[in-house]
Amino acid sequence: MRPRARYIVGRDSQLREIQQALTEAREGRGGVVFLVGEAGIGKSRIATEAVGTAFRMGMRTLRGRSSTTGPTVPFRPLTEALMPLFRGGPPLDDLPLGPYRPALGRIIPDWSNEDRNDSSSMVILGEAVLRLLIATGKEEGRLLLLEDLHDADPETLAVVEYLVDNLEYTNIVLLATIRTEPCDALDMADSARRRGVGTVLELAPLTRPEVRAVIAAQLDTEPDLVPQAALDRLWDDSAGSPFLVEELLQGVIGSGALVRGDDGWRVVGDLRSDVSTALARGILRRIDRLGPQGLTLLSAAAVIGRRFPLTVLQRMTGIDDRGLLSHLHAGVAAQLVVPDEPAPDWYAFRHSLTAEALLTQLTPANRAAMAGRAADAVEALHPDLDGDWCPLVARLRAQSGDDAEAGRLFTDAGRRALAAGAIGSAVTLLGRAERLLSAPKDAAARTDALEALLPALAEAGDFAQAFGFAENLHTLGGSGLSASRLAALHTRLAKVAHTVGRWEDGNRQIAQARALLAGHPDDRATASVDVTAAYLALDTPGPDRTQLAEKLAHSALQAAQRHNLATVACQAWELLATLTRERDFDEATALLESALHTAEQHRLPLQRMYALTRIGGNHWLTEGETAPLLAARAEAQRLGSATIVHTVDGIMILDAVLRSRFTEAQAAAEECLAVVQRLRLAPATRYVLMAQAALAGHRGDRPAMDRALAAFAEWDGAGSQEEPLTRGLARAFCALMEEDRQGAVRELHAVAELENTNPSTYYLSGRYGIGLLLDVLAGTAGRAAYAEIAATSPGRMRWNRQFVHLAGAVLLGREGRPEEAAAAVAEAVRAAEPYATALHLGLRLVAEAAYADGWGEPVAWLRRAEQHFHQGGVAAVAGACRAELRRMGAPVHQRRTGSGRIPEVLRAQGVTVREYEVFQLLADRLGNKDIADRLYISPRTVEKHIAALTTKTGRPNRAGLCELSASLSVRAT
């Protein structure tokens, strides 16, 4: 009898699909195949056959498997798969990986940098892995086989998901095996199938004829010669599982119920039995042949997990080298265990059901004792418990009944994962720690777990679970935990509440923290409470919120400096900088530089990221520069801070709106909004919805604006810092696009009332810019109001500056200072260079005043504005510009097809489509008759067009026109 069937039965279609994927990869069309099925259905057999097929095609296979020994240790299957690239062969240090090479240090130990705690985002790491695979497999292609993906950690799945979406134009095939049980890996495979970027091959149970074929192959006989009774029993008991067929068949043969005679196989005993019992009995019967020591050895191995290291197994059992190797070789021969290549010193059970069967014969006491010995062995061999060892020992201690020690170890493992940026793994490990440390005597250890778990949940976006702990914190109060420790937990929850925009919840947690500290003063704990309360105060609606936030931040900073609390000091400086920029941007930047220096000095990567983000925000506000802000976003992405990434994304969406990149802004807003709404990040959601409303307002699309504002209101928009922007950047601009100047003024007056009731640290709402211009034009604001706003820091922000300059120009024109007024407009145009819609709107608004007071170039401004708004589909403003031009006696060119071809400089001068056609031919210095012949018009008409062109362009004669035409033609080419 054969230990396994010599060929795969019933999987021809799946093997063809895999071979087709490998063939296409060789031609440069990579792909993804998921093998999905229940335990024992044959996924590993097909995967092994795929490896053979790839080898025959000249493709190299990289193989890794997720571990049930420590499933939350990040990146294990990827590390196992990629490490063979670094064993033998040419060195890989010169591969063209660019800036992605450092990120691979998280997966490849050879490239790790102990001096740098790299925690790149999963997108960056996914791209790094993809580039490594491409660079090392240019010629022959790659098969990346990842087995048991259902046991993979969240970080591995994030990298795999990136690969799934980006393998199409490579020579790489990703083949992954997944059990059909609810898990993130199965969800990912289903999503890939729906999006058309992956193939899911579901392995159904074998049919009855296929089960007969498996039995025949294992018995080394013909299918027709399989005893009917044996087929009936194995078909009923196996449910079509190939593994169960083979194991149960070995069991009935081992029991003597099925024997080989001269005339073939025949049934001589009772085949009836419970499947699980029969399976366990069959496996144990095979192990019994290894002797009592073999049973003890493999039982100990099963306690460790499906994978087990020989050094640990030997230490916990006390067996000598000869006995250990002898029993292992016998186990391999019996198809019970296999070497766990390429990891040295590790073996694995051939199937998880084998380990489960072994555990059934252990009493709970024996299993707990073995788990304790295994934990002792690991700690003796690896006292630092680095890498996978810490969560493994934590699991073993939990199995041994030592919940307290297990909880502490899971906390350590979770902290390490959090420090490495493995947020998902950190949540899993710390959550288990918190559950194990529920006894009153473990209150201090549980607090340690919670202090790490709460920020991990916030970074992961699981705010519901974080707030779930708020209701139970009081239970720690009677367990001997100090008031300071309890206050610290409430403060952590308050920070989570601030992140998600839940002011009332955050302030409630602050109140509880203060109550705890009232009877037990602690200056250090109070500093942390104060700085968190300051951030909440700034976002909580109220007329004195900025004053209260500043007072609390100063108090926290003073205490932080007394006690050398670097994190609190950085947080206080950052908040004070936000409040200070209303008075002085230089002072605000100096505060942020202090925070940045302190964060770098004390190696606080998150605080450094926050400081860089606020410094970038200042550059954006003062000069419209986005590079520093995008650099801060890259740092946030590297650290895995979703909240900061989405915050910067919101600013970039608004920046695109202000720069009139409306299509780009719309696409980015929709993508970002889907994410922040799913994460329930209220501040980020409100900001993106505000930007969407501003986008619609700048387009003059009131229905779209109203929809965005309705959604904004649903996210507690009333009283928020974003609310004034919805009126100034959205409603007021929309009114101006409708030529409703009074409506815009009303909205801007409403902005002032809002900011008096709930002061804002956002200064683009119009109070310091477009509002001043409209008031000056209406005559309700004069030189004093202008001087007051022009002297403020918000008035000097680039977006506001353009309108302040225009307001100054109008005042100068009224004062009879035309040259100074024109110079002010030039300054406004320079400030407005990035903001096309605002520029042309501003020129359209001041043109009437300039014409009335006799200064500037109102006709040219109106023509440019008319062209801009006509192309943008803002009919009301374009029509108003044309009406003003007629009132000024200026010709209004017709909207003929082809006007878009006319250079901006000529459109502004009123050149028509037909005049431009004549103008273009002047570059060749043709005569009137030649031009007339080319255009099929009369020479007299040509003469009229040339005369008009001379007047409009200001050229003295025909020669000057020819020179200008030639010059513009050269620029066009």
Three-class secondary structure of residue 36 per DSSP: strand
Do 195 and 240 belong to one domain?
no
d(CA 543, CA 550): 13
**pLDDT attached to residue 291:** 76
Give 116's pLDDT tier (boundaries 50, 70, 90): very low
Q: CATH code at 945?
A: 1.10.10.10
In a domain, 372, yes or no: no
**pLDDT attached to residue 937:** 73
Q: Are 205 and 239 a contacting pair, CB within 8 Å?
A: yes
> Between 771 and 891, where is the model more confident?
771
Do 259 and 145 belong to one domain?
no
Q: Which of 615, 660, 656 is nearest to 633 (CA)?
A: 615
In a domain, 912, yes or no: yes
CB pairs under 8 A, 24+ apart, for 359-368? Answer: 359/299, 359/302, 359/303, 360/276, 360/280, 361/280, 361/284, 361/299, 362/299, 362/303, 367/303, 367/399, 368/399, 368/400, 368/401
Cα-based angle 583, 586, 587 (whole degrees, multiple of 5): 65
Do 33 and 97 belong to one domain?
yes
Report residue 308: phi and psi, to 5°: -150, 140
Do 167 and 213 belong to one domain?
no
Give 114's pLDDT tier (boundaries 50, 70, 90): very low
Instruction: Among 176-180, 569-573, 650-654, name the one with the lowest average pLDDT.
Output: 176-180
The residues, ordered by sequence, that sit 6+ positions from 722 with a Cβ below 8 Å of its Cβ are: 683, 686, 687, 690, 712, 762
Do 39 and 133 belong to one domain?
yes
Do 172 and 86 belong to one domain?
yes
Using only C-alpha atoms, the chain has a radius of gyration, in whole angstroms, of 37
Q: What is the number of other CB atoms lying within 10 angstroms of the CB of residue 747?
A: 24
Residue 148, judged by CB atoms within 10 A of its CB (0-12, 13-18, 19+), counts as buried
Q: What is the number of other CB atoms lying within 10 angstroms of the CB of residue 363?
A: 8
d(CA 850, CA 204): 80
> Between 877 and 264, where is the model more confident?
877
Do 216 and 198 belong to one domain?
no
Instruction: Among 417-426, 585-594, 611-620, 837-846, name the one with the lowest average pLDDT.
Output: 417-426
Cα dihedral 711→716→719→723 (10° resolution): -20
Mean pLDDT of the chain: 85
Do 146 and 195 belong to one domain?
yes
Q: What is the pLDDT of residues 43-60, one digit of tens each?
A: 888 998 999 998 999 888
Q: What is the pLDDT of residues 396-416, one digit of tens each?
A: 999 999 999 999 999 998 888
**Does residue 342 surpass a pLDDT of 70?**
no
Q: Which of 226, 231, 279, 233 is nearest to 254 (CA)?
A: 279
In a domain, 596, yes or no: no
Question: 185, 202, 219 — which closes off a domain?
Answer: 202
**pLDDT attached to residue 295:** 82
Domain count, the chain: 3
**pLDDT attached to residue 274:** 46
Instruction: Among 58-67, 175-184, 468-477, 620-629, name the one with the lowest average pLDDT.
Output: 468-477
Q: Which of 319, 316, 323 is nearest to 378 (CA)?
A: 316
Three-class secondary structure of residue 488 per DSSP: helix
Q: CATH code at 96?
A: 3.40.50.300
Q: What is the number of other CB atoms lying within 10 angstroms of the CB of residue 127?
A: 21
> Between 855 and 86, where is the model more confident?
855
Give 722's pLDDT tier (boundaries 50, 70, 90): very high
Instruction: Among 81-95, 152-166, 177-191, 955-969, name the one with the lowest average pLDDT.
Output: 81-95
In a domain, 936, yes or no: yes
Q: What is the pLDDT of residues 474-521, one digit of tens each?
A: 566 555 567 888 888 888 888 888 887 888 888 988 998 999 899 888
**pLDDT attached to residue 71:** 41
Span 418-425, average pLDDT: 70
Do 266 and 165 belong to one domain?
no
Q: Which amino acid type is present at position 776?
A: V
In a domain, 770, yes or no: no
Q: Which of 301, 287, 295 is nearest to 345 (CA)?
A: 301
Q: Which of 342, 344, 346 is nearest to 63 (CA)?
A: 342
**pLDDT attached to residue 649:** 93
Q: Which amino acid type is present at position 207?
A: T
Span 112-135, average pLDDT: 67
Give 973's pLDDT tier (boundaries 50, 70, 90): very low
The residues, ordered by sequence, that sit 6+ positions from 648 with a Cβ below 8 Å of its Cβ are: 613, 616, 629, 630, 632, 633, 636
**Does residue 737 surpass a pLDDT of 60?**
yes
Three-class secondary structure of residue 568 per DSSP: helix
Q: What is the number of other CB atoms lying within 10 angstroms of the CB of residue 822?
A: 17
d(CA 32, CA 211): 29
d(CA 426, CA 412): 10
**pLDDT attached to residue 903:** 85
**pLDDT attached to residue 129:** 85
Could you tell me the two tokens for 627? 């590079």
**pLDDT attached to residue 70:** 45
| Distances from the Cα of 287 to the Cα of 245, 295, 318, 369, 562, angstroms | 18, 6, 19, 21, 68
**pLDDT attached to residue 38:** 83
Span 280-308, average pLDDT: 78
**Does residue 741 surpass a pLDDT of 70?**
yes
**Does residue 112 surpass a pLDDT of 50?**
yes
Three-class secondary structure of residue 257 per DSSP: coil
Which range marks the domain in which residue 942 is found? 899-972
**pLDDT attached to residue 897:** 55
d(CA 227, CA 221): 11
The residues, ordered by sequence, that sit 6+ positions from 919 with a Cβ below 8 Å of its Cβ are: 906, 911, 945, 949, 961, 965
**Does residue 970 surpass a pLDDT of 60?**
no
Tokens 């970080």 correspond to 155
DSSP structural state of residue 902? S
Do 94 and 223 belong to one domain?
no
Q: Are 554 and 579 a contacting pair, CB within 8 Å?
A: no
| Distances from the Cα of 784 to the Cα of 753, 775, 787, angstroms | 21, 12, 5
Q: What is the pLDDT of residues 537-595, one digit of tens each?
A: 998 988 999 999 999 999 999 999 999 999 999 999 999 999 999 899 999 999 999 99
Do 101 and 186 belong to one domain?
yes
Percent of the chain with pLDDT over 90: 39
Q: Are 217 and 5 a contacting pair, CB within 8 Å?
A: yes
Say whether the peptide bond before residue 703 is cis (omega within 30 degrees of 0). no
Three-class secondary structure of residue 64 per DSSP: strand
**pLDDT attached to residue 679:** 65
Q: Are 21 and 33 a contacting pair, CB within 8 Å?
A: yes
Paired residues of 338 in beta bridges: 348
Could you tell me the two tokens for 610? 């926050």
The residues, ordered by sequence, that sit 6+ positions from 749 with a Cβ below 8 Å of its Cβ are: none
Q: Which helix (H) or strand (E) holds 964?
A: helix 958-972
Tokens 């820091």 correspond to 793
In a domain, 163, yes or no: yes
DSSP structural state of residue 15? H
Do 195 and 146 belong to one domain?
yes
Could you tell me the two tokens for 448? 């340690």
Question: 162, 177, 202 — which closes off a domain?
Answer: 202
In a domain, 710, yes or no: no
**Does residue 334 surpass a pLDDT of 80?**
no
The highest-confidence range among 284-288, 298-302, 611-615, by mean pLDDT, is 611-615
In a domain, 215, yes or no: yes
Report residue 551: phi and psi, to 5°: -65, -45
DSSP structural state of residue 114? T
**pLDDT attached to residue 460:** 65
**Residue 315 CA, distance from chain mean position:** 44
**Kind of pairing, strands 172-179 and 142-147?**
parallel
Give 90's pLDDT tier (boundaries 50, 70, 90): low
d(CA 665, CA 671): 10
Residue 843, judged by CB atoms within 10 A of its CB (0-12, 13-18, 19+), counts as buried
Question: 202, 224, 259 — which closes off a domain?
Answer: 202
pTM, two decimals, is 0.62
